Chain A
Amino acid sequence: MAVYQSNRLRKDGALMGLDVGVGGQVLDLETAVKDGILGGGGGIGVGGGCGLISTAAAEKLDLKKMIEELEAVEVPSVFICPISLDPMRDPVTLCTGQTYERSNILKWFSMGHYTCPTTMQELWDDSVTPNATLQQLIHTWFATKYSAMKKRSQDVQGRAIEVLEILKKAKGQSRIEALKELRQLAAAHSTARKSLVDNGGVGSLSSLLGPFTTHAVGSEVIAILVSLDLDYSGKTNLTQPAKISLMVDMLNEGSIETRINCTRLIEMLMEGKDFVSENVSSLSLLVGLLKLVKNERHPNGVIAGLRLLKAICSHESLRASIVSIGAVSQLVELLPGFKADCIELALHILEVLSTVPEGRLALKECAKTIPNMVKLLMKVSESCTQLALAILWAVCKLAPEECGALAVEAGLAAKLLLVIQSCYNPVLKQRSAELLKLCSSNYTATNFISKCKLTTTIQ
C-alpha cells in the first residue's frame, strides 16, 4: 500500500496539499475533490481551512463507521461497487480493468461465474488485484468529509451555546434576534438541538414564557422548544398554568405555523406521566383547536388539531367540555371533506365522545351524523368502519325508532350486510348483526327488505 509523505503546508496558507508519493504524477487529492473531478459534493471544509488530515490520523478512523455516519452525503460514483452499489472498502480490480468490492466479486465467482459483471466479458485471468490507490482515495475522501462534518457540527454546537448565553441578557429586539438565530440552528442541526438540551437551554427558554411574554418572543420560543427532545423535568417545567395559558393564547392568535407549534408542544407535554387533565381544560384551547381543524387551507393544522383533540378526550373529565363547544356537530360535518388519516382521527374522537351522555345527545341532534356514518362504513378502512359502527350503535341505542328509521333511509342495511359478508373480524360482524336487528325491529320483514334497496344478489 502506498505510503503518503507527510503533509505540506503551502506557504500562502492555503489548504494543505497531499501528494501521492508512489508512481507517477497523481492528481493532487485536494484539488481533485475540490474541483469535483471525482463528482463528490462540495469542497473540503470550505472556508474553514481544516484541510486534509494526516494519514496516521485517517487510518485511526474506522472507514466502516465513517461510511455509516456519512450516509446522507453523495459519494462519488467511482467509489461505488457496481455489484452492491455501496462504497468500497477493499476494492479489487479484475483483468478487464473494472473494480469491485472484494467480498462481492468473490461471491460472484463462487456462484460459478467467470465473467466481469459490468462488461460481461469472459475473464482470461482470474486474479484479483487489490486497488491500493483507490482504497487510499476512498479512505481519505471519507476521512476529510467526516472531519469537516464534525467540525461543522462543533461550530454549530458552539454557536448554539453562545447564543444561549446572549439570550440570558438580551432584551427587546436583540432578544428576538437571538431567538430567531437559535431557531434556525435548531431546525437545521440535530447537534445544535442536543447541545441546547445539554446546556440547560430548555430551562432558559422556559423561563422566558410567562404572563407578560409578548407574542413575538413567545412564538419563537415555542418554535424552538417543539423541535427539542424534552425530558421529564423540562416538560414539568413547561406545564405551569401561566405558560400553558400563554400557549393557548398564541394558539388562538398566531400565524398558522405558530398555531401548529403550540398544538404540537402541548401534545408533547401531555405525554408526561404526571400530566393532569386540568392543565388542558381551558375552553379557549378547545375552541382554538376546533378552529384549526376547520381550516381546510392548512392540512397540517387539521391533523395537528385532531391529534391533540384525540389526546385530550382520552381524559374522561374533559369530554363534556369538548362537547359543550359544539365539537360534535362540527366534526361530523367536516368528515366528508377529510382525507383518510383525518377521518380516522375524527371518528376516534367522536367515538370517545359518544361514551358520555352529552356526546351521545349531541350526535343524535346533529342531522348529518347518521348519513355520514353510513357512508363511511366499508369505505376507508376496517378501523374506520369499526368506529363508525360504534357511533351508529350509540346513537341508535339512544333512540331506536327514530334513529333506526333514519339509518335505514340512509342505506344502512345494505352496508351492514356487506360488512357481515366481507369482513373477517368476528367482532365487527357481531356488531353489525346486532345493529341490523336493532334498526329493523320496527319493520316487518318484507317492508324492511324493500326499504333496504338491496340488489338481487344480496337479497
Chain B
Amino acid sequence: MGSLCSKQRYFDKPENEENGQAAEIERRIEQETKAEKHIQKLLLLGTGDSGKSTIFKQIKLLFQSGFGEAELKSYTSIVHANVYQTIKILHDGSKELAQNEAESSKYIISSANKDVGERLSEIGGRLNYPQLTKELAEEIGSLWNDPAIQETYSRGNELQVPDCAHYFMENLQRLSDANYLPTKEDVLYARVRTTGVVEIQFSPVGENKKSGEVYRLFDVGGQRNERRKWIHLFEGVTAVIFCAAISEYDQTLFEDEHKNRMMDTKELFEWVLKQPCFEKTSFMLFLNKFDLFEKKVANVPLNVCEWFKDYQPVSSGKQEVEHAYEFVKKKFEELYFQSTSPDRVDRVFKIYRTTALDQKLVKKTFKLVDETLRRRNLFEAGLL
C-alpha cells in the first residue's frame, strides 16, 4: 500500500482534489479491513498426502457452486496422469521386489505382459503423457490384473503407490472413453501435489442467505520445504484444520523413504502447536482416511509404527477398529497437551474422525466445526 497522502497545501485546487481522492481511498481501505475482520480464516495444514486438498475440494463442492464443466474437463489430464504414474510405480516396484525378495517368482511379470510393462513404464516416466486411448487402457488393465502386479500392490505401503490406485484401475474403461468427462468423484480422487497456496471463500449457510459466517480456506502444500519461512504469514487465522491420515502408520515418505509417515505427521503437529503465531488459534484435528484405517487395522498391527508401539489389541472386528481408533486419538491428545504450554491451554482443540472422500461426512463434520467456531466467537465476545 503506497503512501498516498501528500502534504496539505491550502491554495492548490488540483492538490485538494488529490487529497479528496486519497481520503476516499483511505476510507475504502478502512471499510475493507473492517469487512476482512469478519471473514474467518481457516488454514489447512498437514503432511503430504494427508487429504488436505480433498477436504478443500469437498468444501468447494458443498458450499460453492461446485465444479463447472470447464473445471471438470481440466481434471482429465490429471486423472490420466495418475493412471500412468500408478502403473509405472507398480511395474517398477514389481521388478525391484523380484530382485530383492526371497520369493522373487511371485513378482515376476508374465511374459505376455512383460513388453507392455516396459513400454508403460517408459511412458510413465515422461514429462508429458499421451492421451489415454482404449488400447492403452486395455494394456494397462491387463498389466494390472497380472498376478505379479497384484502381489506388488499388496505391498503398496512400502512403495509410493497412491491411495487412488485401486479406484482408477477399476474404472479404466470409463476413463479412456473418447468423451470422458471426469465426475465429481474422479476429481476428489485425483491426486496432484499442491504447489503454492490456494484459497476459496465460502459461507456454510449457502451463498444466498445473509446470515452465517464467511470463511476463507487456505490450502498450502504438504511437503517439508521451508515451512518455517512462510508459516508466520498465517498468524491471526481463526483456526487451523490439521489433517492427519491415520491409515499411513505403515507407510514411508515420498521425500524420504526411510522415514515413517506417521512419525513425520507427529513431528509436524508438534511443530505447528508450538508456533508462537498460533498461540490463540483454535485447532481442529481431522483424523482422516478412516475408511482405509478400518481395513488396514485388521491386517497390519498398529505397533509397526514406533509411536504406537505400546498398543495392545483387545478384541477383533468392529470393536477392535474402534479400540484402535481411540488409541490413536488418545496419542494425538497426549501430544497436544505435551506440546501446549499452560498459558495456551485455553485454546480450542477438537478431534474429528473423517473420511475426506465421503461428502456427507465432510458436510456433517464441517457443520460441527462451524458450530464450535461460532460458540468460540460468542464466548470471546462475552456473550456466553
Contacts and interface: CB of A to CB of B under 8 A. Distances in A.
Interface of A: 211-212, 214-216, 241, 249, 253, 255, 281-284, 287, 291, 324-326
Nearest to A324: B337
B337 A249 contact: no
B367 A214 contact: yes
Nearest to A214: B371
Nearest to B325: A241
A255 B348 CA distance: 15
Interface residues of B, number: 22
A283 B337 contact: yes
Contact of A253 (B342, B353, B375): B375
Interface stretch (B28-36, B191-199, B229-237, B326-334): B326-334
B375 to A, nearest CB: 6
Contacts of A214: 367-368, 371
Nearest to B329: A245
A324 B339 CA distance: 12
Contacts of A283: 330, 333-334, 336-337
Interface of B: 322, 326, 330, 333-334, 336-337, 342, 345, 348-350, 352-353, 364-365, 367-368, 371-372, 375, 384
16 contacts: A211-B352, A211-B353, A212-B365, A214-B367, A214-B371, A216-B371, A241-B326, A253-B372, A281-B330, A282-B330, A283-B333, A283-B337, A284-B333, A284-B349, A291-B345, A325-B337
A255 B378 CA distance: 11
A291 B330 CA distance: 20
B333 A253 contact: no
A215 B379 CA distance: 14
A110 B372 CA distance: 75
Nearest to B327: A278
Nearest 8 pairs of A and B residues by beta carbon: A212-B364, A283-B337, A241-B326, A283-B333, A214-B371, A215-B371, A284-B333, A253-B375
A284 B336 CA distance: 10
A283 B340 CA distance: 12
Nearest to A285: B333
B350 A249 contact: yes
Given A212-B365, A214-B368, A215-B372, 7 more contacts: A212-B364, A212-B368, A282-B330, A283-B337, A284-B349, A291-B345, A325-B337
Contact of A282 (B333, B348, B367): B333
Contacts of A282: 330, 333
A345 to B, nearest CB: 22
B365 A287 contact: no
A240 B375 CA distance: 26
A215 B372 CA distance: 8
B286 to A, nearest CB: 12
Among A212, A282, A324, A326, chain B packs the most CB atoms within 10 A around the CB of A212
B331 to A, nearest CB: 11
A326 B330 contact: no
Contacts of B333: 282-284
Contacts of A212: 364-365, 367-368
Nearest to B342: A326
B101 to A, nearest CB: 40
